[in-house]
Structure 1
Amino acid sequence: MTAKHLVFGVDGADLSVVQAIGPGGMPAFHRFMNEGAFAKSRSVLPPATLPNWSSFLTGVNPGKHGVVDFTLRRGYDVSFTAGTIREVPTVATHLDRAGLRVACVGFPATWPPEKLKHGVFISGWDSPVAFEADRSFVWPPDLYDRIRQRFGTPSFDDVDEFHSDRPGWIEALADRLTARIERKTELASWLLRQGPWDLFAFYFGETDTAAHHLWSVHDPDSPRRPLALRGDAVEGAHPTGLERVYQAIDRAVGRLTREGRGEVTVISDHGSGGSSDRVLYLNRVLEETGFLRFRSRSPIAPAASFAKRLALRGLPPGLRERLFRLGGAALPSWLESRSRFGPIDWSGTRVFSDELNYFPALHVNLRGREPEGTVDPKELPRLGAELRATLLSLRDPWDGNPIVRTVFTREELFHGPHTDRAPDFLLDLHLAHNYSYNLMPTASAPPGTGPFRRLAEGEWLGKKGRSLPGSHRDLGLFIAHGSSVMAAGEIDMALLDATPTLLARMGQPVPPHMDGRVLWEILDLAALDAAASRSPTPPSTLSSPGTEPKSDRGKEGRVAARLRALGYIE
């Protein structure tokens, strides 16, 4: 046995896709499900990448670990963040303190790597280098040299998603992603052999990339399905590109499980689904309902947006990266801030939005907090009630259905000392006939556009940083398999339950600061007792978070460049 416990993080993996492919196409996943436990795990809301992976890795909600989004807002300015703002160590550090050997590889929002005494830590795609990793994201540092010598310079992105509209890009994507999965599997296999490991955790992000770009090609009912594919009677004859990527992940997980010969956890940060062709301009809604006022003229916002587009699409990736590094993220932060908020007249604004497609949320222009705040803190309860009533009454102009399901305060979703990093209100939107609405920035809307419009055919395939055919869902994937797990079938659970359950399966006590629960209903306690008697667990020194990592503001420029290169920000 080279790893007692294997964890596979599969970004955006959706249980419904796994079930639709079936055991013939994904034998490893289905064997684990049949012999163990599985669930549509509930993501932390909103189902965004960084807060959910950070929650899984720490076992606490964003109000405690502090990673709420890719950026932090300070007044009317945003700055780029990474794992350096996470205030709670990952489970890798907890286990390392207990004397266990851990390998944690590739998870987002983990740069800089945690300096494990007994293991290795390789940071994921929020590392400071956008396309090729350097020694700063590997611990111990000499491991980087060994990886580079054997596998070449580690690369995060070899498909350049900002040019997804180029001829042939979509058609080649599945092949390129499956090839990347195979390369990463070779790396994982080599790292496994450097064990034995008590915990080996490895991240695959290719399922998320495939879902974002290939959903309309995969789904015959997608309103954004290319016209050339409509009416094709080939469903089921050959795997779609999305299915091929899922099958490649199954092969990778199956191989690594055979080589590791340990217990298995498979988890995703969120699920995936299709995007509609319906666009919602949230700040325009706020303007028309009296919560926000735009300036009559705002040349800065269009100029900032143009500069961003030029950098993202017109510059070679290496030069793009170097430019975004300059000045500790001063330039990208300034451009992002002006693009989001430049058109807003603060003197006439009570509520405003970042208009992020993956993170529908609202900020109050609060007096004493914002530089030009207009809302007295005493008015917040009344404002919240007015805002809820307005948004819950918002109707889709094409079918009359409600758009907003729930308006949450941040305190309803998060708890902990860093809850104030979150927006004041977060929105849970209905689906439009099973497809998500597309939030787009009002500043980029065609002249004369109201709160809604439909995408033109030329926009259906989208582009990174704008609406894409696939989007996130709040139900992801969880699978547990091994001698410690009974054949429990499908269960009910939340993402935050996965971490304490993993610790329990490893024979480790669960720190009291963790938010989830142990899924005792799936555990074979007799098997756990027998394992403990055969291999006593070292005394645990797990502790509540006390030493908080400090933010490294000087490195945010490099982090921003990585986020931009991945397309989470424009």
Structure 2
Amino acid sequence: MTRDTERPPARLVVLGVDAASPELLDRWIGDGTLPNLRALAERGLVARTRGVEGFFIGSTWPSAYTGTSPAKHGVHYLLQLVPGTYALHRVADAAFVTREPFWRAVSRAGMRVAVLDVPLTRLDESLNGVQVVEWGGHDALYGFRTHPRELARELTSRHGSHPLGPSCDGARRSADDYAALVERLTLGARRKGEWTRELLARGGWDLFVQVFTEAHCAGHQCWHLHDAAHPAHDPAVVARTGDPLERVYRAVDDALGDVLAAAGTDTHVVVFSAHGMSHWFGAQFLLREILLRLSVTVADRSRERGAPSLARRLWHALPEVVRRPVRALLRAVRPTPPTHAIPSLAFDPARSRCFPLNNGLAVGGIRLNLVGREPQGVLRPGAEAQAFCDELAADLLAIVDERTGAPLVRRVLRTDDLYAGEARDALPDLLVEWSDDVPTGSTALAGGAAARVRARSPKIGVVEGANDYGRTGEHRPGGWLLAAGPGIAPGRLDRVLSPYDLAPTLTAMLGVELPDSDGAPVPEIVRRDAWSTESSSRLSPG
């Protein structure tokens, strides 16, 4: 097919850098480490965005692309309660995000869209345009799929699969392993840039969206190699790898530069990172035991009978100096759990006033076992539940890190104080925000024992555990945004944007309203005198 030479290939190009640290972006743009983003920033508007409070791990992407809160789109984590039960299920296997993404509104308005590798999205074959799901993504929910279907064959025949594969998580890595990981991530960014540029060059797009997810993996796996203050920092590995984050961010910047060059200076461009990254923190791995010690959650008695219970008692009777090497050996030989396994909540609902819920690793979730809402609820809504929450919050806030004496819990938030919506009951009721001042990133990566966290309070005594997951970087709330193009004045916004502003801003840039959004178009980006609501000529991308 021939390219439309009278117009840019797209009216609006949106490029995500998934889970990139806003602080690193600002620093490396400022010193020229990221020259392409620096050039764009010099002619564009830079802003920071707030996080999705309490749910910035699992809800950031659904909130960003629907413009609504978790209480409306219904997703707080990839494993959630089956409504009306005490069982967990994968929300991606069910309805998943219950509000529509902004690109569907644009497509419904008759415009042509390309939606490529946006995290936590399912394939929509009704779109007027193309979609690619999980060619290269951090969370593999559906596997690599495309609309139209023949696009998958075209991409893989020309560019292969993403060099990283479906997951980057791993426990122990040698210096060579880390070097290979970084090479795969940089190669993945380069390949994604190549096929993104090819699709963009076909022209006729009103909205063109691509997300580079390589920075996400690099942050989780390699933060300790970037951060010399991290307890697992290993100069010998860094001598082999360099700074992995800088290398991956540079590779993404190179790919963005190629895409931006293909888009041209007359195209409006938005580049964003929806949430950030820094050192691992928190003690989510202790929350269940803490609730058991406080006697607000009661273990499932059927799991306490017989030999397993005796074995557990004998294990905990051993001194830590004996348990530590055995634990390290078990981690080394233990097979990786199957990804399809769904854990049990393993508590006694007839005797528990609350129970922990998965909500990511930086903010713990607690569900009240309410009468009338839960199948075997024991806690009455109203004054009784209110008094229970007050007492539980005080007990959690009293817990300190035994090493430093610093509080282990920064805040206990109540979901009802933050959000309201038709999907509110899909969410935990209390949110335990762990203190960022107590780093708990694994130090077991070089072959030693994982750093132990000892949580202490008068009510729980001492609860001990370790982050042996292997990640040394964890998400932070808040993101970064850069918008450039005709009619957008360069500079830096002096206020922090809502996480829900992105979707209505992008649709407004194309003359489409998103009336049910919790956010609003950013006026400094959406200037009516600079935007035409008239769609560009539409060419088939096939």
Q: Give the TM-score, by structure 2 length.
A: 0.80
SS where residue 281 of structure 1 aligns? helix
What is the CA-CA distance between 1:537 and the residue it aligns to? 4.7
Partner of 2:191: 183
Query: Does structure 1 conserve the Cα–Cα contact (< 8 Å) formed by 2:412 and 2:431?
Result: yes
Which secondary structure state, in structure 2, belongs to the residue aligned with residue 172 of structure 1? helix
Q: Which letter maps to 2:228?
A: P
Using the alignment, how far apart are the partners of 1:387 and 1:277 within structure 2?
Answer: 18
RMSD: 3.4
Q: 1:221 Cα deviation (Å)?
A: 0.8
Is contact 1:104-1:201 (8 Å) kept? yes
In structure 2, the residue matched to 1:89 is 100
Query: 1:529 is matched with which residue?
Result: 529
1:20 aligns with one of 17, 21, 27: 27
1:494 pairs, out of 474, 498, 502, with: 498
Tell me if the contact between 1:65 and 1:418 (Cα under 8 Å) persists in the aligned partners.
Answer: yes
Shift of 1:277: 8.9
Cα distance, 1:477 vs. partner?
A: 1.6
Task: Give the direction of change, closer, same or farther, for the CA distance of 1:111–1:159 in structure 2 (3 Å limit).
Answer: closer
Q: Equivalent residue of 1:88, what SS?
A: coil
Deviation at 1:253? Answer: 1.1
Distance in 1, Cα, partners of 2:292 & 2:451: 14
- Which of residues 269, 287, 294 in structure 2 aligns to 1:282? 287
Q: CA deviation at 1:514?
A: 0.6
Aligned twin of 2:11: 4
Q: Which has the larger radius of gyration?
A: 2
Q: Which amino acid aligns with 2:22?
A: L
What's the CA shift string for 1:278-305, capped at 9, x where partnerless?
Answer: 77511222222231233572688999xx
Counterpart in the other structure of 1:401: 406
**C-alpha deviations, 1:96-152, integer Å up to 9, x for none?**
111111100111221132521x3112223566655xx2xxx3112232233233333
Match of 2:298 among 293, 297, 301: 293
Per the alignment, residue 428 of structure 1 pairs with 433
Count of aligned pairs between the two proteins = 481
- Distance, in Å, in 2 between the alignment partners of 1:182 and 1:255 is 10
| Counterpart for residue 539 of structure 2 | none
Q: Which of 414, 417, 420 is equivalent to 1:412?
A: 417
CA distance in 2, matches of 1:122, 1:59: 21
1:138 to 143, 146, 152: 146
* Distance (Å, rounded) in 2 between the aligned partners of 1:498 and 1:241: 29
Query: CA–CA distance in 2 between the matches of 1:82 and 1:498?
Result: 23
Q: 1:110 aligns with which of 110, 116, 121?
A: 121
Identify which range, 237-246 or 155-164, moves more after superposition: 155-164
* Mapped contact 2:284–2:363 kept (Cα < 8 A): no
SS class of match (1:360): strand
d(CA) in 2 for partners of 1:311 and 1:194? 50
Q: Give the equivalent residue in structure 2 for 1:552.
A: none
Q: State, as a whole percentage, how many aligned pairs show the same letter.
A: 27
> What is the DSSP-based 3-state SS (H/G/I as helix, E as strand, rest coil) of the residue aligned with 1:79?
strand
Does the residue aligned with 1:178 lie in a helix, a strand or coil?
helix
State whether structure 2 residue 476 is matched by structure 1 residue 473. Answer: yes
In the alignment, the residues of structure 2 paired with residue 428 and residue 244 of structure 1 have an alpha-carbon distance, to the nearest angstrom, of: 31
* Residues 184-212 of structure 1 deviation map (CA, whole Å, 9 limit, x = unaligned): 11111111122221111001111010001
Mapped to 2, the partners of 1:222 and 1:127 lie a distance apart of 29
User: TM-score under structure 1 normalisation?
Assistant: 0.76
- 2:48 pairs, out of 40, 54, 57, with 40
SS of 1:294 mapped into structure 2: coil
SS at match of 1:72: strand
Report SS of the residue matched to 1:346.
coil
Deviations 1:199-235 (A, max 9, x none): 1100111101000111111001112323757xx9x8x
CA deviation profile, 1:444-489 (whole Å, cap 9, x unmatched): 999x99754475xxx7xx5xxx251100100222111212321231
User: Which amino acid in 2 is paired with 1:536?
Assistant: E
Matched residue SS, 1:25: coil
* Contact 2:223-2:279 within 8 A present in 1 as well: yes
1:358 to partner: Cα distance: 4.2
Deviates more, 1:275-284 or 1:479-488: 275-284
Displacement of 1:347 = 3.7
Check if 1:365 corresponds to 2:345: no
Quick one: distance in 2 between partners of 1:312 and 1:2?
Answer: 51
The residue number in structure 2 matching 1:564 is none
Aligned counterparts of 1:188 and 1:311: Cα–Cα separation in 2: 41
Q: State the match for 1:79 in structure 2.
A: 89
Instruction: State whether residues 115 and 140 of structure 1, in contact with CA within 8 Å, keep that contact through their aligned partners in structure 2.
Output: no
In 2 relative to 1, CA 218–420 (structure 1 residues): closer, same or farther, beyond 3 Å? same
The Cα of 1:376 is off from its aligned counterpart by: 2.0
Residue 179 and residue 54 in structure 1: after superposition, are their counterparts in 2 closer, same or farther (change >3 A)?
A: same
The alpha-carbon deviation at position 352 of structure 1 amounts to 1.8
| Cα 1:258/1:49, change in 2 over 3 Å | farther
Uncovered stretches (5+) of structure 2, i.e. residues with no partner: 1-7, 313-330, 443-449, 456-460, 537-542
CA distance in 2, matches of 1:452, 1:224: 23
Show the 5 A alignment for 1:7-406.
7-21=14-28, 22-46=30-54, 48-74=56-82, 75-82=85-92, 84-116=95-127, 118-124=128-134, 125=137, 130=143, 133=144, 137-152=145-160, 154-155=161-162, 157-158=164-165, 160-167=167-174, 168-226=176-234, 228=236, 240-261=243-264, 262-276=267-281, 281-295=286-300, 297=304, 313=335, 324=340, 332-333=341-342, 336-337=343-344, 341-342=345-346, 344-354=347-357, 356-378=360-382, 379-406=384-411
SS in 2 for 1:89: coil
- Offset at residue 177 of structure 1 (A): 0.2
2:509 corresponds to which letter in structure 1? R
Cα distance in 1 for partners of 2:333, 2:122 equals: 24
Partner of 1:544: none
* Secondary structure of residue in 1 paired with 2:12: strand
Distance 1:494 1:283 in 2: 32
- CA shift in 2, pair 1:45/1:20, >3 Å: same
CA contact (8 A) 1:275 1:437 kept: yes
For structure 1, list consecutive stretches of 5 or more residues without a partner in the other structure.
304-308, 325-331, 439-443, 539-570
Which piece of structure 1 moves more, 496-505 or 258-267? Answer: 496-505
Cα 1:276–1:405, aligned 2, differ >3 Å: closer, same or farther?
Answer: closer
User: Are 1:430 and 1:436, in contact at CA under 8 Å, matched by a contact in 2?
Assistant: no
Letter in 1 for 2:132: I
**C-alpha displacement of 1:271:** 0.4
Amino acid at match of 2:103: A
Distance 1:247 1:111 in 2: 29
Residue 44 of structure 1 contacts residue 474 of structure 1 at CA under 8 Å; is this kept in 2? yes
